[in-house]
Copies of this chain bind each other. A is one copy, B any other.
């Protein structure tokens, strides 16, 4: 006869608040949503990308502008813009040789502001 404890294999502890675990298990977002959420925050979790996004919140800019602003290689900025593009956080438009990037999501600023509020409250 199998008990609940038998089924939960990877916890080597004996004390489990079974009801709490089951309650929370029922409340959790889907595995896919949790994965996607982590992927999104992973994109935010780099200083260069944060800077790029903060800059684009203020103005539309070309790759060269951003590289100059952040004092970084055109190549690295371009690589990071690719990641931001894939995450649908920025969009671009081409004007001759120049490619202009801008923010593609109004929530970016709100998410950043919430993050800054957390930091300010120590």
Residues of A within 8 A of B (CB): 8-13, 15-17, 20-21, 23-25, 27-29, 33-47, 49-51, 54-55, 58-59, 61-65, 67-69, 71-74, 88, 97-98, 105, 107-108, 110-112, 114-119, 121-122
Tell me whether A11 and B67 are in contact in the complex, defined as CB-CB below 8 angstroms, given that A41-B44, A59-B23, A114-B110 are known contacts. Answer: yes
Q: Considering residues A37, A39, A112, which has the most beta carbons from chain B within 10 angstroms of its beta carbon?
A: A37
Are B72 and A10 closer than 8 Å at their CB atoms? Answer: yes
B35 touches A47 (CB 8 A): yes
CA–CA, A113 and B25, complex, Å = 18
**Complex contact A71–B10 (CB within 8 A):** yes
